[in-house]
Amino acid sequence: MLEIIMKMQIDHPFLRVFLSRWPICLAWGIATLGLNTAKAADMQLTLQTRDPATGKIVLANENVDPKRVGVIAVDVWNFHWCKTATMRVDAIVPRMNKALEGARALGMTVMLCPSDVVDNYVGYPQRAVIFTLPKVSVPAVTNVTCPPAPDPGGCACGRERCAVNYGWDGMHPGLRIGEEDLMPDTQAEVYAICQQRGLTHLIYVGFHTQVCLLGKPMGLKAMKSAGLRCVLARDMTDAHPGYDPARNFTPDLNTEQVVEHFEKFLAPSISFQSELAKIGKWDSNWVVDPVRITPWGTRMRPHLFEQPITVTLTAPFQADAEIRYTLDGTPPTANSTPYSQPLIFTNATNLRVAAFRNGRAVCLESQGSFVQMSPTPPFPDVYIGDVKPIRSVGFGHTYGGNVRYSGNTRRPQIDKSNLGQNLRINRQVFQHGMGVHAPCELVYEIKPDYKRFVALAGVDENLISISNGSNLAKYPSVVFKVFIDGKEAAASPVMRILSPAWRFDVEIPDGAKTVSLVAMDAGDGSREDFADWTNAGFILKAGR
């Protein structure tokens, strides 16, 4: 166009000056436009690393186009064998949802990676599209080495440790799955997405930092070795936990140590919340974080204890807030008892806790359930297996007193699990008892010489013998009850797989006619609710 204008014979001084300088002006305008466009499109990340020798924090800024960023959420599972770890996932999901919502709005690619349960999402378009990706070879660009990360063992319940099982069968039900999200599983699948979309940076969120984020095939170490710029979101992760209140070692401290390890040896970290706040994608008035409880028992998965326990409350993202709690079942307010040091519980306790700043709630309420175990009862003189029940109903359909048992369940089994295996509760095998599937009721006539009913009752754990309970161990949840003449005399809390057996020792009043042993589902359905009454029976009156 300039050539055409120059050929035109227009004799005007201003025009001659303009045309002589037009190429320079045009170049400057294009450069300025490009610069302004880059500033508008890019976001500036504040990257935090640490000197490996001294641990001193080093900050650096890096501009990146959000459309070249992927966010990878690793193992945001719906269950963990440690109940406290399960609840700590639950605690971060609300803030993670806000972060992923902001990431999507900025054009980042969100990848949800639940690793070993990813194929439970067959049929989801987010998973199906992965198999249309071109096959690519993953280069080995960087040899990533690092000392072993701190790993205290994975249970944050302290002295009353949880037992390992693989019960998760999907992602946390509260985690929002976006329509355009992707569900890769392997290093090659993630790399193919990065190649296809021109991604240069990966921000990692998820659990459990030093195990899953580090070691999984789509994890930080694997993708860094392929040449991607990998960053850890330190406010959207939680380490494989541990808890020792005697030395002030908490899951929060454990996570801080693991994050510092990453910053020294593996990758920089960011505060995802702060990065989104810089560009108006995070509202400081949002209340998304519950107060964290350690150990964290709940009504559906109570913390059972024998000796006094120490309970720690924290609000790591609201460090200046006042934590306040109640023990009488009422909701906590800004005037409730202030938390100043770990609490010691010696009896069954229902805890409710929240955090406040200037009278305003800045944390979501949390609840904790702690149940003290009674002493182990003696062995019975008469086992229930040696007494014929006057009523026996189980999991199935009942017609005129006859039961059609459901699926692969059976009528109550004497001295065996409901499926004919050994009676097993809390890693212990019992010789005597009754194997049932909840809901089930066994009614026995009380003989004049019966003084007390005793039993150890719990979830049968034979399913753990197959793939460590993969996909199933989260489901069994049973409440055991004892009725005498139709009135409830004793009840267990919700019992779960690998929990200690609940201890029944019930006095039988003179003149009582019947005792009913009930196993019922805990209100979440009866899937896999196989249950055992073990060492169950009657103590006789003296001299009988």
Q: What is the DSSP string of 4-66?
A: HHHHS----HHHHHHHHHHHHHHHHHHHHHHHHHHHHH-EEEEEEEE-TTT--EEEEEEEE-G
pLDDT digit string (tens) for 89-117?
A: 999 999 999 999 999 999 999 999 999 99
Question: What is the chain's percent helix, strand, coil content, to nearest 5?
Answer: 25, 35, 45
pLDDT of residue 424: 97
pLDDT of residue 41: 73
pLDDT at 208 over 60: yes
Percent of the chain with pLDDT over 90: 88
pLDDT of residue 196: 97
pLDDT at 10 over 60: no
pLDDT of residue 401: 80
Query: Which band of pLDDT confidence, cut at 50, 70 and 90, is reported for residue 30?
Result: very low
pLDDT of residue 436: 98
**Backbone phi, psi, residue 313, to 5°:** -115, 135
**Element (DSSP H or E) covering residue 535:** strand 530-540
* CB burial string 497-517: b at 16+ within 10 A, e below: bbbbbbbbebebeeebeebbb
pLDDT of residue 245: 95
Mean pLDDT of 271-298: 97
pLDDT at 12 over 60: no
Query: Which band of pLDDT confidence, cut at 50, 70 and 90, is reported for residue 544?
Result: low
Cα–Cα distance measured from residue 230 to residue 216, given in angstroms and rounded to the nearest whole number = 14
pLDDT digit string (tens) for 230-282?
A: 999 999 999 999 999 999 999 999 999 999 999 999 999 999 999 999 999 99
Determine the 3-state secondary structure of 450 from DSSP: strand
CATH topology of domain 382-540: Jelly Rolls (2.60.120)
pLDDT at 2 over 70: no
Residues 281/233, Cβ–Cβ less than 8 Å: no
pLDDT digit string (tens) for 380-429?
A: 999 999 999 999 999 999 988 889 999 989 999 999 999 999 999 999 99
pLDDT digit string (tens) for 72-95?
A: 999 999 999 999 999 999 999 999
Q: What is the DSSP string of 114-155?
A: -GGGGGGGTT-HHHHGGGGSPP-PPP-------PPPP---S-
Question: What CATH code would you report for 65-282?
Answer: 3.40.50.850
pLDDT at 376 over 50: yes
pLDDT of residue 543: 57
pLDDT at 25 over 60: no
pTM (two decimals):
0.90
Q: Delimit the domains of the chain by residue range.
A: 2-41, 65-282, 309-372, 382-540
pLDDT at 16 over 80: no
Residues 15/6, Cβ–Cβ less than 8 Å: no
Mean pLDDT of 56-79: 98
Percent of the chain with pLDDT over 70: 92
Cα–Cα distance measured from residue 392 to residue 371, given in angstroms and rounded to the nearest whole number = 30
Query: Which band of pLDDT confidence, cut at 50, 70 and 90, is reported for residue 319?
Result: confident
Residue type, 297: G
pLDDT-wise least confident of 33-47, 282-296, 339-353? 33-47
Query: Which band of pLDDT confidence, cut at 50, 70 and 90, is reported for residue 20?
Result: very low
